[in-house]
Amino acid sequence: MIRLDNVTKIYKGETRAVDGVSLNIEKGEFVFLVGQSGSGKSTMLRLLTAEDAPTSGEIHVAGKDLGRLSSWKVPYLRRNIGSVFQDFKLLPNRTVHDNIAYALSATGATRKEIRAKVPDVLRLTGLSTKLHNYPDQLSGGEKQRVSVARAFVNHPPLLLADEPTGNLDPHTSLGIMQLLYRIYRTGTTVLVATHDSHMVDRMRRRVIELRGGRIIRDEASGLYAQREQTTDEFGDLLDNAYHDLGRSD
């Protein structure tokens, strides 16, 4: 579903946001992308939606080589990728229904299809009663649900979420995560960039950790952090032990 070969992105000639990253994500996986702010998570997601082009390296998304994709085809690529953002990115002057319907009509759906699909996805996300509300009449959690609904209404094979719970309280976050999990269960590949250690530890899915634009960890069912916070001495000790373990794997 996603393949990166030695991808590097350099901003303004100096900042290496992503540095020689290679990775492979299969169809139907649920993957967490973790790392501190500035570790390159968002840049990775921007590269995947062709918002940015890599400085070097190859990116394949949904069977397409992004380096060879002409710019007029980018919209068609994006129809295969649902995107969820920390700040929701809803259209403020449209109702919940119209926000989702717009995403559908942008892909050339007829009115009949819109009438069939929008109620479905609203039911899935638990928003059936908020159909005619405007975004500023909704809570943060509800806005994020709309954003997820919009991303999923086309049933794209891939869903990208950039800090989907960054603005939400733990309880609401859980609801959003459950929603993403439910979407993953329908066979959709889901990639979530997050800071939410709690959620990552709880869900125990594949974790890819970035630091300084490089992958420093890729575990099949990992925790948010490699180890508990300890003193430096202890940390080094544990670090070495961990590496030894990793090699024997």
Using CB under 8 A as the criterion, which residues of the chain lie in contact with another protein when the complex forms? Answer: 49, 51, 72, 75-79, 83, 89-91, 93, 102-103, 105-107, 110-111, 150, 154
Tally helices (H) and strands (E) across the chain.
8, 10
- What the block records as the tokens of 245 is 């373990």
Instruction: Measure the CA–CA gap between 31 and 25, rounded to whole angstroms.
Output: 8
Least separation in angstroms between residue 245's CB and another protein is: 41
Sheet with 2-11: list strands edge to edge.
15-25, 2-11, 56-61, 64-65
Least separation in angstroms between residue 198's CB and another protein is: 28
Give the nearer residue to another protein in terms of CB position, either 5 or 113.
113
Instruction: Measure the CA–CA gap between 6 and 128, rounded to whole angstroms.
Output: 44
Least separation in angstroms between residue 148's CB and another protein is: 13
Stated as kind and residue range, the H or E segment containing 10 is strand 2-11
Q: SS3 sequence, 171-210?
A: HHHHHHHHHHHHHHHCCCEEEEEECCHHHHHHHCCEEEEE
Least separation in angstroms between residue 75's CB and another protein is: 5
Give the nearer residue to another protein in terms of CB position, either 67 or 75.
75
Give the nearer residue to another protein in terms of CB position, either 88 or 184.
88
- What the block records as the tokens of 243 is 């590496």
Least separation in angstroms between residue 9's CB and another protein is: 16
Least separation in angstroms between residue 74's CB and another protein is: 8
Give the nearer residue to another protein in terms of CB position, either 79 or 211.
79
Neighbours of 3 (CB within 10 A): 16
Give the nearer residue to another protein in terms of CB position, either 71 or 221.
71
Give the nearer residue to another protein in terms of CB position, either 60 or 89.
89
Instruction: Measure the CA–CA gap between 111 and 134, rounded to whole angstroms.
Output: 21
